[in-house]
């Protein structure tokens, strides 16, 4: 089952396309890292998914085919927005009351138990909570709805390192307990690397790279060696990014999980998710390179891998 499936999805604001020709299918049971530069269309895609916006072109369905924004879907999707829209003049308990009145599946006992474990008192005013506590309150409200899909749009924005760590730890515990699917948009790629197992990279309003993170990482390598041999390397591999530092050339390449012998003086190293993402963001034209087919990358024949 696909938790999110789009076909030719696009959203236009006046004469600007925030998202265009987006076609993808995200499998259930994954923690999906949605990454891309500012203006790539990440928030637009999430808003279309949770029914906060209507598509200009194409379609989007959720949880096995339900129309995005339908009542059935809304009851089963929890969304935590970037600005954590909580009412500062309410107490934590009153915020829970509001959430319970708006959601039939809301589990008040679970929310109070979780907040107690976090040391967030029900009598505190929401506006007096720290940024990390507000983020945890929003996450608690989302979990207490027992969603099948949790959508998070930059929830780590503005949090200090300790608050980010606590937020991610809470997320992992809930995912392990409930087995829900998560789509997580964030600029903090190092944090996503610890928890995500699936990647969707947006750039220019389109899906550029998509697939299992383990397979994507295994299908790339960083090769370093004498610059004089860089041309020979480029003849064998699709080069995503090329850099030169002194007497060393460094190429991030698509290997297709196989390299063979390298020229003398050349070494190979594994890439991290952050290195992979940054390389494609710096060199968006690399998405159209011929070479080993990857999910979401155009193949040499122009079809979608």
What's residue 163's pLDDT? 84
In a domain, 267, yes or no: yes
In a domain, 49, yes or no: yes
What's residue 144's pLDDT? 93
What's residue 34's pLDDT? 94
What's residue 172's pLDDT? 87
Residue spans of the chain under pLDDT 70? 84, 257-260, 284-305
3-state secondary structure of 272: coil
In this structure, the answer to whether residues 130 and 204 fall within a common structural domain is yes
CA 219 – CA 259 distance, rounded (Å): 10
What's residue 287's pLDDT? 64
pTM for the whole thing? 0.85
What's residue 298's pLDDT? 38
CA 6 – CA 262 distance, rounded (Å): 41
What's residue 259's pLDDT? 65
Beta strands in 64-140 (DSSP E): 66-67, 77-80
In a domain, 266, yes or no: yes
In this structure, the answer to whether residues 25 and 114 fall within a common structural domain is yes
What's residue 107's pLDDT? 94
In this structure, the answer to whether residues 52 and 189 fall within a common structural domain is yes
What's residue 296's pLDDT? 46
What's residue 247's pLDDT? 82
In this structure, the answer to whether residues 99 and 165 fall within a common structural domain is yes
């Amino acid at each position: 089952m696909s938790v999110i499936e789009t076909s030719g999805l696009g959203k236009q604001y006046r004469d600007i396309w925030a998202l265009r020709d987006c076609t993808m299918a995200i499998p259930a049971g994954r923690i999906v890292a949605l990454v891309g530069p500012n203006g790539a269309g990440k928030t637009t895609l999430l808003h279309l998914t949770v029914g906060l916006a209507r598509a200009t072109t194409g379609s989007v369905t959720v949880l096995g085919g339900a129309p995005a924004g339908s009542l059935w879907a809304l009851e089963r999707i929890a969304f935590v927005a970037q600005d954590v829209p909580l009412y500062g003049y309410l107490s934590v308990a009153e915020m829970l009351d509001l959430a319970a009145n708006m959601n039939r599946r809301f589990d008040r006992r679970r929310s109070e138990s979780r907040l107690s474990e976090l040391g967030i008192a029900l009598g505190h005013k929401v506006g007096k909570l720290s940024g990390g506590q507000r983020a945890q309150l929003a996450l608690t409200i989302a979990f207490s709805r027992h969603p099948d899909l949790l959508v998070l749009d930059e929830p780590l924005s503005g949090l200090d390192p300790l608050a980010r760590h606590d937020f991610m730890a809470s997320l992992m515990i809930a995912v392990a307990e409930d087995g829900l699917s998560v789509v997580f948009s964030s600029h903090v790629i190092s944090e996503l690397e610890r928890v995500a197992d699936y990647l969707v990279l947006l750039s220019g309003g389109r899906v550029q790279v998509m697939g299992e993170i383990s397979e994507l990482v295994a299908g790339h390598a960083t090769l370093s060696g004498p610059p004089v041999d860089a041309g020979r390397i480029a003849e064998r591999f699709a080069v995503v990014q090329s850099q030169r530092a002194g007497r060393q050339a460094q190429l991030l390449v698509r290997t297709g999980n196989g390299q063979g012998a390298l020229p003398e003086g050349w070494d190979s190293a594994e890439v991290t998710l952050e290195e992979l993402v940054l390389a494609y963001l710096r060199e968006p034209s690399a998405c159209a390179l011929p070479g080993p087919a990857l999910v979401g990358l155009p193949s040499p024949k122009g079809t979608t891998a």
